[in-house]
Structure 1
């Protein structure tokens, strides 16, 4: 059964906790979402609060995918650029699908829903994201229409002696 996507949902304690659980589970499964396993909810919480603060400022929008049981199964944050010469594209952050739902096409569904949301935003012509090298994520994003437009070698230090490339991907919307 497909996920049900909601753009700009009301932030309730249940949604907040669902996103924290998702972020923790994705991290623990080896997902490249800003933390390294083992995940700690209290370490992740301030980052989620920062996302919520950007939402309150009107710079960021939240896209949430719920599964058939109503549980948070996927998220992506769409963040507008504040630089006046770059307002025609936005960043896609914290793209996550719960490990129990991976392999069902939900990642593609999430990216398509995010692209649709971006197209509906006035003046947005492209979506940009970064991903951690060494996991094949650039191949996945490429299969969804994104193009690699930059790479910073060894920019992400996962652990001492384990540096990964920071890969910049772009999806033109026109």
Structure 2
């Protein structure tokens, strides 16, 4: 089984709904993508719309991964940093692989495709992302070349009395001139 990636796909209702289904399924499987289960499509859709608006404004780009059936199997959003002194790096967010594809190497493939996409953007030297502590995500990102560069203890409250660290990771792409 293979996954194919596309940067900046044309957004149509099928793709939009596929991303909503992916995000809902990942969230409900316990994925750390901005929600705590249970969530519904109606909960996720407004968050996706924020990303789509940022895409329409040219601030964000979408990387989509499709499985062999053509279903949305993975996503990552690449957001330009709007601060003029930080325009040399971008944010990677909403990094997701469908639960049915976990353990197939698709997450690593997605991060490689995202780094390749970032390298193709003039002036970009690094990619930053944040992840929720307590999930082992920093080890996974570390195995993909990211370095932990910051941690805010107990910044994410997933439930009353259950706080997690907010971890910042950085992937250096090398200096671009």
Taking only aligned residues, the RMSD between alpha carbons, in angstroms, comes to 0.4
Q: Within 2, Cα distance between the matches of 1:55 and 1:159?
A: 31
Map of 2:126 onto structure 1:
126
Q: Aligned residue for 2:39?
A: 39
Aligned to 2:72: 72
Partner in structure 2 of residue 140 of structure 1 = 140
Could you say which residue in structure 2 is the equivalent of 1:88? 88
User: In structure 2, how many angstroms separate the alpha carbons of the residues matched to 1:100 and 1:44?
Assistant: 19
Alpha-carbon distance between aligned partners in 2 of 1:39 and 1:131, rounded to the nearest angstrom: 19
The number of equivalent residue pairs is: 174
Q: Where has structure 1 moved over 2 Å in runs of 4 or more? A: none
Q: Which runs of 5+ in 1 are unaligned?
A: none
Kindly state the Cα deviation for residue 2 of structure 1 after the two structures are TM-superposed: 1.7
Provide the TM-score with structure 2 as the length reference: 0.98
- Tell me, in whole angstroms, the C-alpha distance in 2 between the residues paired with 1:95 and 1:39: 17
SS in 1 for 2:86: coil
Q: In structure 2, the residue corresponding to 1:165 is in which secondary structure?
A: strand
The 1-side partners of 2:133 and 2:13 are apart by 34
- The yes-or-no answer on 1:102 pairing with 2:140 is no
Q: CA deviation at 1:150?
A: 0.2
Q: Which runs of 5+ in 2 are unaligned?
A: none
User: What secondary structure is seen at the aligned counterpart in 2 of 1:62?
Assistant: strand
